[in-house]
Amino acid sequence: MPLERRLSRDTFLQTEIVELKQLCLTPDRVYQPGRYVASELPDTAFTMGLVERVAIVPDQEPDTQ
């Protein structure tokens, strides 16, 4: 059984660019994998371990939906 890494939203800055590793379904929206500002994602994505940090690269914007 693989180890899961569960993170809290509190471990990320609200303005930090993060990567959603896989599809995240909520009653209101479908979040596609990609880069987002941490404040755009639901708490569920963080508690399920679907989000990870992205190395900061200058001039790179998050994916917009």
Indicate the pLDDT class of residue 4, thresholds 50, 70 and 90. low
- 8 A C-beta contact, residue 17 and residue 52: no
**pTM score, two decimals?**
0.73
- Cα distance between the two ends of the chain: 34
Query: What would the pLDDT profile of 11-65 be if each residue is shown by its tens digit?
Result: 889 999 999 999 999 999 999 999 999 999 999 999 998 999 987 666 666 665 5
CA 38 to chain centre: 6
Indicate the pLDDT class of residue 7, thresholds 50, 70 and 90. low
CA atoms of 50 and 58, how far apart (whole Å): 24
Give the per-residue pLDDT at 9. Answer: 79
